[in-house]
Amino acid sequence: MSATTLPSGRLALMLTELRLPTIKRLADDLCAQSDREGWPGHRLLEALMEHEIAEREFRRIDRHRAESCLTPDKRLSSFDFAAVPSVSKAQVMALAEGHEWIDRGANVLLFGPPGVGKSHLVSGLGHALVDAGRRVLFTRCSDLVQRLQAARRDLRLPQELARLDRFDLLILDDLSYVRRDQAETSVLFELIAERYERKSLAITANTPFSQWSDVFVDPAMTLAAVDRLVHHSTILEMNVESYRRRAAHAAQPSGRRTNARPTTTTATDHAT
Ligand code: ADP
Ligand code: MG
């Protein structure tokens, strides 16, 4: 039977019914090729199935990328590791490629002043995980706190926390910008406690742990939160000068560099 005499209408209907859009799209061509080249039946079947599976995986990753809210161009491939000597490229690539830390719900914490590439680096890590079939959500920490507070008001905080459970990695960007009045409900602590040793968090902050008391209700809760976060974590200290500022300096005529010293912020600065 040649491609032109295939019962396309009926076959197309059946493939729609079975939700096999890729096979539907390729059936005529692959059947024709199979006839031309005299493939055994199982080879044709295999070829069709392989295409369907590959497309499904592709669409799944696409969906995960869309739901992740990651900025498309903040990838590890566009991150200039030479600009942040304190961060080991090998260590970051190991996190991107080996997911044992994700499986045991370990965390990544990134510290440094504004503009040093914390959001870019953590997004790059997020993209790498999405590429590998993981589910990631990138959110500003203060936005998530707001969302969780609304959920608590509506008595559906447990459901909202459970919804976040489908993400292998939750990226909380700019923890330090959670406002004092937002801290009062402790939802952020509940999120950290809920995910502890189960699901990973990646957190960026431009203030050291000692100043996190502005983000939680009281010192005891701050201590409890930090304790859980650091128990299984990789801490990346990014104490360099703002990348943007450096790029601006580089664009200036030589000899006009002003005092360009970084404002350093380490995880344990002024530790209590
Ligand atoms: P932070 O989150 O620490 O404030 P960002 O990640 O927002 O910093 O970085 C500020 C800008 O500089 C972004 O456009 C980012 O892509 C860029 N950038 C920062 N560091 C690097 C780097 N090492 N390589 C490439 N781009 C960088
Ligand atoms: Mg940032």
Ligand nearest to the CA of 243: 1
Residues whose beta carbon lies within 6 Å of some atom of ligand 1? 74, 78-80, 83-84, 112, 114-120, 204, 243-244
Nearest CA residue ID for atom 21, ligand 1:
117
Distance in angstroms (rounded) separating the CA atoms of residues 235 and 111: 8
Nearest CA residue ID for atom 9, ligand 1:
117
Mean pLDDT computed over 30-35: 95
Distance 72 CA to ligand 2 centre (A): 15
Mean pLDDT computed over 137-164: 95
- Report whether 159 contacts 147 (CB < 8 A): no
Ligand nearest to the CA of 114: 1
Distance in angstroms (rounded) separating the CA atoms of residues 45 and 128: 32
Ligand nearest to the CA of 113: 1
Collapsed DSSP state (helix, strand, coil) of residue 237: strand
Which atom of ligand 1 lies at the shortest distance from residue 73's CA? 16
pLDDT band at 91 (very low <50, low <70, confident <90, very high): very high
Side-chain-side CA neighbours of 45 within 13 Å: the count stands at 3
pLDDT digits (tens, 9 = 90+) for 213-256: 888 888 889 999 999 999 999 999 998 888 877 777 777 765 44
pLDDT band at 1 (very low <50, low <70, confident <90, very high): very low
Q: Report the candidate in 135, 220, 196 with the shortest Cα–Cα distance to residue 171.
A: 135
What does the mean pLDDT of the chain come to?
A: 89
Distance in angstroms (rounded) separating the CA atoms of residues 50 and 46: 6
Structural domains in the chain, sorted by start: 8-66 (no CATH), 74-256 (3.40.50.300)
Distance 28 CA to ligand 2 centre (A): 50
Distance in angstroms (rounded) separating the CA atoms of residues 65 and 71: 10
Nearest CA residue ID for atom 26, ligand 1:
79
